[in-house]
């Protein structure tokens, strides 16, 4: 039996917004996904600022060291969205059996499978896939660093005999146990208080954070990032085979998820493949339309035909040139809306795509304004972005990607206060 949808005021304003209706106020997301969150140090600082109960922050996404935004902090910030995550994180171990970990003088909680070793010569931290210390480490954090980088563990390649299946080990059908967990989590979040943002099945389609396979103990196939980009140009036949199988597995998992939870969720995360750089793009629109668009279309068509969910696509950088293709493929929501990149002017984006694409992010620049500006700078930019993007719905306030470590808490609070100010005036 599927789970019926409940909708209180917060959830309703998100539903209005993502359906391009004017909501009662601009909805806010922090912590709804691994690309709309906050670094653990920022979460801890906000908890202190708002005088919330003293407790250690849980690392809900260890690759980026993101902190879990719990209900009391959601209330203080004014968040309208809650996540349903896979219980297995990017390093391949489950988020359970929490234990203390000292992280740059900040004590946090990490999952029991978070097993590390300190490099004796450099002081860096190595982390192991699936918590398996007998395997080569898959992540490295420099001493004093704030997140992990992937360690490339690519075996020697026979370029004449590449096999698509070697790049598919991470992708499999969900087990009954995993489906039970998803159903439990969906029931727990479907209170009607928050809109529900689900990141449950990994379709990837070349997401560069997934290519190194940091969750596998001994990955096969093309795992070097540079090699992967070369592969998209030199062997599109192999890439198509990989994508076709990823989509096939992804849709099979979505079918099974929907059979369990129905429309208890509102938004589904598709993938995080970045197509933009700061000033340009990783490929042409022609290449995108040939290599990626058919696979996005197949995914989105299934979602729209069978569910009420909205499809969420992440792509950093100068990505506007791909928006028409993404819309045509059925993408409903774009994130993080990196307005500091070339060709990403907020007014142009809203004027051109109003009513056709939801902007989830873009609320404040995380490269310069939020980390290095003054609180007054932050307030001014937030108010301007809300004014531009909120017209007619289609805007969820969030920073451009995750709030990074080192961001002054005064600036984070100024951002939050500015959204509240805009909503109060509206």
Q: What is the pTM for the complete model shown?
A: 0.97
Other CB atoms within a 10 A radius of the CB of residue 65 amount to 24
Cβ pair 24, 37 in contact under 8 A: no
- For the CA atoms of 277, 278, 284, 288, what is the dihedral angle to 10 degrees? 50
Tally of CB atoms within 10 A around 55: 11
User: Tokens 């490269």 label which residue?
Assistant: 367
| Token couple for 41 | 């140090």
State residue 1's pLDDT score: 55
Query: What is the residue-level pLDDT of the chain in tens, covering all 426 positions?
Result: 567 777 789 999 999 999 999 999 999 999 999 999 999 999 999 999 999 999 999 999 999 999 999 999 999 999 999 999 999 999 999 999 999 999 999 999 999 999 999 999 999 999 999 999 999 999 999 999 999 999 999 999 998 899 999 999 999 999 999 999 999 999 999 999 999 999 998 788 999 999 999 999 999 999 999 999 999 999 999 999 999 999 999 999 999 999 999 999 999 999 999 999 999 999 999 999 999 999 999 999 999 999 999 999 999 999 999 999 999 999 999 999 999 999 999 999 999 999 999 999 999 999 999 999 999 999 999 999 999 999 999 999 999 999 999 999 999 999 999 999 999 998
Q: Which residues contact 374 (CB under 8 A, 6 or more apart)?
A: 411
Nearest Cα residue to 30 out of 65, 69, 75: 69
**What domains does the chain contain, in order, with CATH numbers?**
9-37+71-90+157-425 (3.20.20.210)
Q: What pLDDT, on a 0 to 100 scale, did the predictor assign at position 203?
A: 83
Rounded CA separation 57/40 (Å)? 7
Could you tell me which residues come within 8 angstroms of residue 176 by beta carbon, excluding any fewer than 6 positions away? none
Q: Which residues contact 334 (CB under 8 A, 6 or more apart)?
A: 313, 315, 319, 323, 326, 357, 358, 359, 360
């Amino acid at each position: 039996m599927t789970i019926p949808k409940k909708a209180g005021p917060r959830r309703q304003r998100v539903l209005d917004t993502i359906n391009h209706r004017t909501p009662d106020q601009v909805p806010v997301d922090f912590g709804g996904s691994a690309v709309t969150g906050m670094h653990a140090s920022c979460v801890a600082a906000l908890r202190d600022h708002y005088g919330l109960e003293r407790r250690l922050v849980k690392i809900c996404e260890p690759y980026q060291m993101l902190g879990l935004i719990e209900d009391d902090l959601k209330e203080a910030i004014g968040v309208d969205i809650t996540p349903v995550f896979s219980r297995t994180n990017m390093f391949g171990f489950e988020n359970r059996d929490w234990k203390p970990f000292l992280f740059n003088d900040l004590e946090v909680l990490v999952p029991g499978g978070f097993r590390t070793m300190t490099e004796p010569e450099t002081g860096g931290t190595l982390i192991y896939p699936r918590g398996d210390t007998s395997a080569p480490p898959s992540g490295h954090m420099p001493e004093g660093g704030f997140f992990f980088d992937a360690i490339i563990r690519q075996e020697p390649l026979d370029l004449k005999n590449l096999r698509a299946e070697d790049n598919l080990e991470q992708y499999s059908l969900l087990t009954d146990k995993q489906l039970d967990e998803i159903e439990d989590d969906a029931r727990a979040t479907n209170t009607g208080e928050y809109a529900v943002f689900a990141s449950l099945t990994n379709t990837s389609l070349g997401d560069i954070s997934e290519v190194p396979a940091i969750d596998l103990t001994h990955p096969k196939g093309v795992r070097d990032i540079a090699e992967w980009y070369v592969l998209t140009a030199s062997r599109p036949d192999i890439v198509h085979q990989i994508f076709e199988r990823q989509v096939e597995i992804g849709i099979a998992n979505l079918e099974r998820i929907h059979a369990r939870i129905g429309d208890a969720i509102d938004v589904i995360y598709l993938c995080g493949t970045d197509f933009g750089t700061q000033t340009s793009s990783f490929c042409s629109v022609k290449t995108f339309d040939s290599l990626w668009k058919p696979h996005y279309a197949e995914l989105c068509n299934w979602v729209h035909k069978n569910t009420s969910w909205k499809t969420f696509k992440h792509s950093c950088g100068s990505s506007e040139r791909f928006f028409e293709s993404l819309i045509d493929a059925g993408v409903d929501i774009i994130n993080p809306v990196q307005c500091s990149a070339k060709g990403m002017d907020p007014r142009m984006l809203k004027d051109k795509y109003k009513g056709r694409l939801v902007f989830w992010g873009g609320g404040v620049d995380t490269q310069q304004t939020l980390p290095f500006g003054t609180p007054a700078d932050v307030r001014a930019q937030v108010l301007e972005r809300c004014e531009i993007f909120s017209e007619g719905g289609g805007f969820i306030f969030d920073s451009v990607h995750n709030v990074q470590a080192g961001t002054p808490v005064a600036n984070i609070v100024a951002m939050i206060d500015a959204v509240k100010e805009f909503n109060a005036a509206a």
